[in-house]
Amino acid sequence: MEKYLYLTLDVLSLAFPLMFSFYRKAPFYKKWKYLFPAILITASIFIVWDEIFTYMGVWGFNPRYLTGLYIGALPIEEILFFICIPYACVFTYFALCYLIEKDYLFPHQELISSLLILLLLVMGMFYFEKLYTGITFVLLGLLLAYQMLKLRPRYMGRFYFSYGFILIPFFLINGILTGSFIDEEVVWYNNNENLGIRIGTIPFEDAFYGMLMILMNIVIFEYLQDRERYKALMRS
């Protein structure tokens, strides 16, 4: 049964958010028309990135914990990761926005973004020869800069607040994938292409890779909602 481990993690990460998507007072399923395009666009980018890094040996997969179904160089479980995890994370963002009315980090969102942009771009350029570190940090830094300077959204405080909660299950799942609690790792990393710093068994970069993936989903998710609200306003 161990060959179903990664698939089981995908399914479990999706199961509870999907079930609670039909909660009457906060029906997340009504947001699917904004969510699914966001997941599809982001997943397409990350799957191409994943395929290239797998081919280059930046990371790879242990067949012991896989069903054996592949699309290109990627196991089907990895493809599903880019669907199940974003669904769960955007649901968490949506649920926290519903449950907690006050945006506690709104007054500080530009400061948080500015510090992250500075840190990520400096470290990303300094360690650019390490592919996982350099590309992840630079891309996230540029996305945050675009958000702050061009889009200037009001939801970044809520995103940062939500991401703090998201990191708990994210690290649990990534911990298992990188070898916590099991005999071998499901996903291995070439330490020549990262900083070699681990949080337990998890590469330090994973926290920022996850932030980049979830933020891209939320940017598109929020943009599509805003566009529809604007069209409705123009029709009225």
Each residue of 204-223: pLDDT tens digit? 999 999 999 999 999 999 99
Using DSSP bridges, classify how beta strands 74-75 and 198-199 pair: parallel, antiparallel or unpaired.
unpaired
Could you tell me if 231 and 160 are in contact, meaning their C-beta atoms sit under 8 angstroms apart? no
Tell me the average pLDDT across 121-139.
98
Assigned token pair, 63? 């067949």
Helices (H), the chain: 5-20, 32-56, 76-99, 109-126, 131-146, 156-177, 206-235
Assigned token pair, 196? 């070699």
Give the per-residue pLDDT at 154: 95
Give the per-residue pLDDT at 234: 86
pLDDT in tens, 77-103: 999 999 999 999 999 999 999 999 999
What's the chain's average pLDDT?
97
User: Where is 203: in which H helix or E strand?
Assistant: strand 202-203
Q: How confident is the model at residue 17 (pLDDT cuts 50, 70, 90)?
A: very high
State percent of the chain over pLDDT 90: 96
Q: Tell if the pTM clears 0.95, that is, is over it.
A: yes
Q: How far is the C-alpha of 185 from the C-alpha of 176, rounded, in Å?
A: 7
Tell me the average pLDDT across 107-111.
98
Residue 232 pLDDT exceeds 90: no
Give the per-residue pLDDT at 57: 98
Burial group, residue 152, by CB count within 10 angstroms (0-12, 13-18, 19+): exposed
Give the per-residue pLDDT at 199: 97
Q: How confident is the model at residue 236 (pLDDT cuts 50, 70, 90)?
A: confident
